[in-house]
Amino acid sequence: MFEKDEWTQKEFYKYKNELEKEGAKVVLVDTILKPLGNMKTITYNPYEMANMPENTVFVFYCDTGKTTKERLPFYRKNFLNTDVFLYGEEEDIGVLIINHPKSINMKTYDYIIVGAGIAGCSTAYFLSKYTDSILLIDRNSDLAQGASGAAGAFLSPLLGKPNKFKDLVTKALNFSTDFYLNNIPKEITNCGVVRIPKNKEDAQKFETYKPYMDFPYEKMEDGYYFKIGSQVNSYNICSYLADKVEKLFDYEVLATEQNSDFRIINGELKAKNLILTTGADISLIKEKYFNIRAVWGQK
């Protein structure tokens, strides 16, 4: 049964029966508890799995067979003395079959950053000044493929009355404009921006904001011109920021678990510090006291 990498579903059931007759325990591992037939099913928990009998065979279910097959070499390298296989009923279904994972060799990083948009790349850039033990992960095949790549990449002042969020945006706009102009001037067009009230109500609101403007402006026809406004090339900026950082693309973070002083990702990667820069996707944030909503600009 172990001569080839890929099994059909019919073959899988056949080999499952053969393995159980030989005394092996067969367990289906999935990201959700969705049993296949009468098979024992657990969610992906390396520590629970490590306490199962040595002759246990784990079956990892994945929705994308192509991605699963690409990761076969990784599992064969990191799960020592094991057999790894792929089976599927159709092209878009893939399952990994591996033996007991007690000997997995997890690489440890000081920081693992999930999300390779402008927030993740910026975080990686500034952390790299203090450590080279950083891994930047994204489920897409390249940098800036989410909101960072879809948005217009405009740098524009936030208008309004004083509040902490407005203060933060003002500081961020000053900092980012100076940083881009001094480090990658070819990727920023500092042409200014005209803010045009959309109606009379908006124009009246703008009048109330005038005493609290953080940047110089001048009247221009029906709008107001702010010289600080710019447009940037978000992909090239992300490429510059993440240039010297180790990256892992086409990698979906399905599960994280705290183990002592480390955070374990998918049972494969170990981080002293885990940083989530996933924008509107808050599926990995389980702390209910974080009142986080999706950000504007996400497509």
Question: What pLDDT, on a 0 to 100 scale, did the predictor assign at position 5?
Answer: 56
DSSP annotation string for 91-160: TT-EEEEEE--TT---EEEEEEEE--SHHHHHHHHHHTTT-S-EEEE-SSSSSS-SHHHHS--EE-PPPS
Amino acid 15 reads Y
| Segments of the chain assigned to CATH 3.50.50.60 | 106-153+233-299
pLDDT of residue 230: 95
Pair 181, 187: CB distance under 8 Å: no
Q: What is the pTM of this model?
A: 0.65
pLDDT computed for residue 83 by the predictor: 44
**Residue ranges of the chain whose pLDDT lies below 50:** 63-66, 79-104, 297-299
Which top CATH class is 106-153+233-299?
alpha beta
Q: Which amino acid is at 87?
A: Y
Taking CA 202 as the corner, what is the angle to CA 198 and CA 203, rounded to the nearest 5 degrees?
95
Q: For residue 253, which amino acid is it?
A: V
pLDDT of residue 30: 62
Question: How far lies 244's CA from each of 21, 44, 84, 135, 188, in Å?
Answer: 52, 32, 33, 11, 21
Give residues with Cβ within 8 angstroms of 187, minimum separation 6: 180, 232, 233, 236, 237, 240
Question: Amino acid identity, residue 20?
Answer: E
Helices 118-127 + 234-241 axis angle, to 10: 30
Q: Tell me, what's the pLDDT at 81?
A: 41
Q: How far is CA 258 from CA 255, 269, 270, in A?
A: 10, 12, 10
Return the pLDDT at 33.
Answer: 55
**Phi (first) and psi of residue 198, to 5 degrees:** -85, -20
* DSSP-assigned letter for residue 269: E
Strand partners, 113: 136, 275
Q: What is the pLDDT of residue 240?
A: 97
CB 207 within 8 A of CB 217: no
